[in-house]
Chains A and B, each alone.
Chain A
Amino acid sequence: MELLKRYPKLFQWLFLLVVFFTLCFAIDVPETYKFIRGQAEFIKDPNQSTYTLFGIEVRYYAFDTLWRLPPLLGWLPIWINDSLFFLLNDWMPMEFWNADTQTYKTRPLVLQITRNITAIMTFFIELIREILLGGVETVVTFTSWDWISENPWAKLPGLPWTIVAAGAAILGYKLSGKGLAVFAGIVMIYISVFGQWKPSMQTLSFILVAAPLSFIFGLSLGIMAFKSKRVEKALHPILLVMQTMPQYAVLVPAIVLFGVGDHAAVIITMVVAVPPMILLTLLGLRGVSPEVIEAGRMSGCNNWQLMFNVLIPTARRDILIGVNQVIMVCFSMAVISAFIGAKGLGFNLLLALNQLNIGLALEAGLCISLIAILLDKMSLAWANKQTDYFGSLTFFELHKSGLFFAGAVLVALILAYIGSFYFKEGFNYLYEIPHNKGISTADFWNKGVDWIWDTFFHTLKIFNTWLIVDVLQPMRAAFLRMPVVATFVLVMGAGYIIGGIRTAFVVGGLTMFIALSPWWDRALVTTYMATFGVIISCTIGVTVGTLCSQNEYTKNFMLAVCDIFQTFPSFVYLIPVMMLFGVTDTSVLIAVIVYATIPATRYTIEGLRSVPAALHDAGSMSGVTKVQRLLNIEFPIAFPHMMLGLNQTIVFALFMVIIGAFIGTEDLGQYILKALSDKKGAGIGLTLGICVAFIGLIFDNLIRTWVEKRKKHLGIS
């Protein structure tokens, strides 16, 4: 009784677990139940039950509702699909002027709008692409194909790679100084020399359109949400879902609306990149101290000046994190959108992965990562740039960069010209090094992989088999063995203990959506993989983070490492693990673990760093040992922040699990991937995406509620 009073929560949890396990053991698996495969809704089978809603017939195998709920939401994907098609093909037909045929043509409104957006996007992408690589599309936009064939000279020539490299270096110098200049130069030269120039520039042109657009949209929506409560309330649920929505899932509806190609990729990228930008803009603007705003007002700012001269610059720190996120998402999407026909490095990467040519994949992946890091650093330097009002600069100093660039252009052109004589046959390497004609290390890597396979085959195999047979499969079976009632009890019970009745119903509702969808089993598999990943990631992350926090040097080093790793597009993580473990669940899980360890480590370090120095001193004066200090002072104070890290870890893990479908897993991700190639996949993809998002939101909700309570309890907010 005494114990019960002291630790009431502990007993609530124990009670919950007891009920949960009792339910698990009390409810048997129905004999006819086929895990996962039993849900194929398109198989016609006299044993199936059916129901009709909104004119849509849903077939399913009925089981005891305590075991599995019937897929009452089975009509939703079909309905979404039909609505989308109706909207696109039949809704509001209008007359539009067609410039090509000089006639009016009847087209549905939405289709016309999406086609126009498509045209604009394509134009910008092509423009940048052709400045970098040369081509005729841009000229065609202003004239016509006929005109082009009559005037074969009329095309953008494309810049020699030397100019782009020099330009990048000079830009780097102007923005930040020698360090960035050297880095930019080396990255560009590397890309070119290794024969990745063309795909890299294709990717870059895509990103140079997607990133600024995402930034502008995110910033403006963030400002609107800051100014108006109503906008914020409207955006809030969308932002929440988008935060945990896997990027794959957005692909499918986008194909329907915008077709395939780079333009659709830009739009998807915006859909994914804008929400974090909005959130961070909002966070930053909220954080500006009221006195600074008043100071701005008293300086006589009008609303516009207040926003752009006071609020946004003051909130710069958070907005920059937003920019960083946008760039990260852009590169991540640069790979993923290769699924829907975007050109560039991503396409090569996917192709190489498909052929299991790890060497090539590695090279493409490295290029993407390098460009990502370069752009990230440049955007940061740009935001931190200062103006000098005093120096009475000479003409040369003022226009140094311009002059250097002009010089570089001249030199490069001369070089390219000389090159055209020197490399008479074949390729002018001083103009453009064609794809796969540069130096390639692919063979080296492939041989390395082969060597590893030959040498460590047994060790790897034993490890792999052990992991799959003794750890993963039992865990997976345990997750699938959970009756739906038990899951509800566990989730809602946790919600109740943590946050009260409201939280219980919120998480219960989210679970209900998944349970009523036709993909409950797959959601369980997704959850199991994510859970496994999260547990290992957190163990590693917290340990590494704690160890690194012990001294200033390792701490900063680790944070820098996290920064760099975070810039890698998520797909890149799959390359090295596929090298080692081939196409198995283990590969996916290790990618998940590596990827999700980043936030776990980062938040641990940040959390420990936030412990006030006075508390350290107080601890020291009480004579604590290092371990005591860690357990009694640092961890309790840092715990709320570390839990937010757990939150991020879960989101990261879920992302990677879904991406892992590419390697072949049996979870929701696989269905999303399938939906990509299905004409009627849009609804399925979106619904699946929402399911994954909801899994994330369930954890998000529980953790956030707990953190807020805990923070209030500790008096930090």
Chain B
Amino acid sequence: MTDAVIKCDSVYKIFGTNAKKMLQEANGNVDAKTFQENGCIVGVNNASFEVSKGEMLVVMGLSGSGKSTLLRCISRLTDATAGKIYIDGQDLLSLNNKELIELRRNKMGMVFQSFALLPHKTVLENIAFPLQIKGVEDQECINKAMDMVKLVGLDGRENYFPRELSGGQQQRVGIARSLAVEPDIWFLDEPFSALDPLIRKEMQDEFLRLQAKLQKTIMFITHDFDEALKLADRIAIMKDGIIEQLDTPAKIVLNPATEYVRKFTEEVPREKVLKIEDVMEKPNNENLSDLKVSKNEIIENVAEKILTQEKSVAVIDENNKIVGTLHPSKIIHTVFGGRKNNG
């Protein structure tokens, strides 16, 4: 891909005093256990991937899997031990401090798990903070920050202090702050993990609404597989610093690459994740029923209609062209089949 906004090439992050030396000696073959015995902790182990413009990559992993470390390498909050990271084709690790600050002031925004709001500033001041830091004129800061306040739906609370807000509202401030400089790249580090389930769902929907509007390039960190499925264009699943699988949600659910990934996918309600196109077959000349379904439909939404048919249904694309067929039995197999085999 040429329009990769973020590109990682064999990125390693190893904590410890003699990490660099050990990494050289290991010659690219990093084993977490041997490293640990020598007092080094492997954070990220040989991560290579690209994120293209407007894409949302969700990095999923349990705590200690290195997902946050990976994000911090890409935002250069920590320096990667080895490997190359490119942001818009620019070598991130070669930037000096000034260039890095410039990059962050203009291109990057980040949202944190514990909100990381400045306790001494009001909602408005918090949101205006990156602009003020950049040296934008006061009145303009305030105007822009007010726009952001409206964008995240906090109008009327701009003079509140973070401590006077609920968790969900605080994270809205965090989101608004990260968007204030209108960055191209948006990092979110478990933004909704500290919230109640109901609020979390609300915030996820809000987030999707924002993303549909803003079309940022996003790296989103979560430990919640459902959240990943719901939001992601592509998911990277991490374990012990290694990216186990990186693919679209459908492909991960249908073809888990490793045993570890499969465990996550087991409990996933497939009808809610998979689209018709993920399970359809190539068009052949068989006798089709009158029902036509769009290839982009989620199975859950059309399953009832399809299951009332006896013959295969036609799958069409946006231009009403038949691109595939789907037999009702395939739906039953997809939804229930997998479980039986595993159970």
Q: Which A residues are closer than 8 A to B by beta carbons?
A: 289, 291-292, 294-295, 297-302, 305, 309-310, 313-314, 316, 386, 389-390
Contacts and interface: CB of A to CB of B under 8 A. Distances in A.
Contacts of B133: 299-301, 305, 309
B229 interface: no
Most buried by B among A291, A309, A314: A291
Interface in B112-132: 112-122, 124-125, 129-130, 132
B152 interface: no
Interface of B: 72, 75, 77, 97-98, 101-102, 104-106, 108-110, 112-122, 124-125, 129-130, 132-134, 138, 142, 159, 174, 177-178, 181, 187
Nearest to A317: B119
Given A299-B177, A300-B105, A305-B133, A294 B118 contact: no
A309 B110 contact: no
B118 A310 contact: yes
Instruction: Among B125, B129, B181, find the residue whose CB has the most chain A CB atoms closer than 10 A.
Output: B129
Closest 5 CB pairs of A and B: A300-B105, A295-B116, A299-B130, A291-B116, A298-B110
A266 B84 CA distance: 56
A298 B77 contact: yes
A294 B110 contact: yes
A58 B199 CA distance: 78
Contact of A291 (B112, B122, B125, B130): B112
A296 B115 CA distance: 12
Contact of B104 (A297, A309, A389): A297
Given A299-B133, A309-B129, A291 B113 contact: yes
A605 B174 CA distance: 36
Nearest to B120: A313
Given A294-B110, A298-B77, A302-B101, A316 B120 contact: yes
Given A295-B112, A298-B110, A313 B101 contact: no
A294 B134 contact: no
Most chain-B CB neighbours within 10 Å: which of A297, A298, A389? A298
B110 A295 contact: yes
Contacts of B132: 309
Contacts of B101: 300-302
Given A300-B106, A300-B181, 20 more contacts: A289-B114, A289-B116, A291-B116, A292-B117, A294-B77, A295-B110, A295-B112, A295-B118, A295-B174, A295-B177, A297-B104, A298-B77, A298-B178, A299-B104, A299-B133, A300-B104, A300-B130, A313-B119, A386-B122, A389-B142
Contacts of A390: 159
Contacts of A301: 101, 133
A683 B61 CA distance: 64
- Name, among A300, A309, A313, A389, the residue most crowded by chain B CB atoms within 10 Å (CB to CB): A300
Given A309-B129, A316-B120, A298 B114 contact: no
A492 B267 CA distance: 62
A298 B124 contact: no
Main secondary structure of the interface of A (DSSP, over half): helix
Contacts of B115: 291
Contact of A298 (B108, B113, B117): B108
A505 to B, nearest CB: 29
A313 B118 CA distance: 8
A293 B114 CA distance: 12
Nearest to B142: A389
A289 B118 CA distance: 10
A311 to B, nearest CB: 10
A292 B116 contact: yes
A313 B132 CA distance: 15
Nearest to A298: B110
B118 A292 contact: yes
A97 to B, nearest CB: 42
B70 to A, nearest CB: 14
A298 B134 contact: no
A297 B77 contact: yes
Given A292-B118, A389-B142, A299 B129 contact: yes
Contacts of B187: 298
Contacts of B138: 389
A202 to B, nearest CB: 36
Contact of A294 (B116, B120, B122): B116
B165 to A, nearest CB: 16
B15 to A, nearest CB: 14
A389 B114 CA distance: 27
Nearest to B106: A300
Given A291-B114, A299-B129, A314 B120 contact: yes
Nearest to A310: B118
Contacts of B134: 300
Contacts of A291: 112-116
A302 B113 CA distance: 23
A287 to B, nearest CB: 12
A104 to B, nearest CB: 46
B118 A298 contact: no
17 contacts: A289-B114, A291-B115, A295-B177, A297-B104, A298-B77, A298-B110, A299-B105, A300-B102, A300-B134, A301-B101, A301-B133, A302-B98, A309-B132, A310-B118, A314-B120, A389-B124, A390-B159
Contacts of A302: 97-98, 101
A297 B106 CA distance: 13
Contacts of A299: 104-105, 129-130, 133, 177
B97 to A, nearest CB: 8
A390 B130 CA distance: 19
A343 to B, nearest CB: 39
A301 B113 CA distance: 20
A382 to B, nearest CB: 13
A316 to B, nearest CB: 6
Contacts of B130: 299-300
Nearest to A295: B116
A706 B129 CA distance: 44
Contacts of A316: 119-120
A291 to B, nearest CB: 4
A554 to B, nearest CB: 26
Nearest to B72: A294
